[in-house]
Structure formats: structure tokens, C-alpha cells
Amino acid sequence: MEPVALLATIALLGAVVLLVSRPLLGGARDAEGREAERIADLLAARDAKYREIRELELDHRTGKVAEEDFRAQDRVLRAEAMVILRELDRYDPGQD
């Protein structure tokens, strides 16, 4: 094996080992991380719910959903959004 290739291979190996072992040397910020993840999941759920509310509204405005259907579905969706917001508030009352 020519020396340049050998050096390059060793450098590659070193970089890979460093990269994968770094998190293991970092220590635990576990509890905090878990909460942040739950919040991220909730935010995603909230955005999805908002998207749904908006889409229903657009369907209603373009004449696809009858008035009484729209009211009923909109009420349900907003109630579901509230549930998500309540839980978000529990984690971080100052959010938004």
C-alpha cells in the first residue's frame, strides 16, 4: 500500500471513530432532551391540526362543504387543537 493511501485511510478511520464516539463521551442531558422532543412533537401536531382547520375552511369557501357540516367539523378540529395547546402550555407556559 502506498504511503499516501495509507495515511488517507488512517485519517478516514480516525474521523469516523471520532464522529461516532462523540455522543458517547458527551454525558447525559437526557431528561431535558426528552422534554424538548415532546415539545417538538406537540408543535408538529399543532401545525398539522392548524393545516387541517385551514383546509376545511378553504373547502367551505370554495363551496365543497355545506354550512352545517362545516360548523360541526370545525368545532371538533378546534377542540382537538385546544387539547394540544393545553399540553404545550404545561411544558412551557410562556410559549407564544
Q: Nearer Cβ to other proteins, position 47 or 92?
A: 47
End-to-end CA distance of the chain: 60
CB of 21 to other proteins, least distance (A): 7
CB of 31 to other proteins, least distance (A): 10
**Site residues for other proteins per CB under 8 A:** 1-2, 5, 8-9, 12-13, 15-16, 19-24, 26-30, 33-34, 36-37, 40-41, 44-45, 47-48, 50, 52-56, 58-59, 61-66, 69, 73, 78, 81-82, 85-86, 96
Give whole-number Cα distances, 46 to 55, 84, 92, in Å: 14, 6, 15
CB of 93 to other proteins, least distance (A): 13
Report which of 68, 66, 96 is spatially closest to residue 81, judged by C-alpha positions.
Answer: 96
Q: Nearer Cβ to other proteins, position 5 or 94?
A: 5
Residue 84 near residue 45, CB atoms below 8 Å: yes
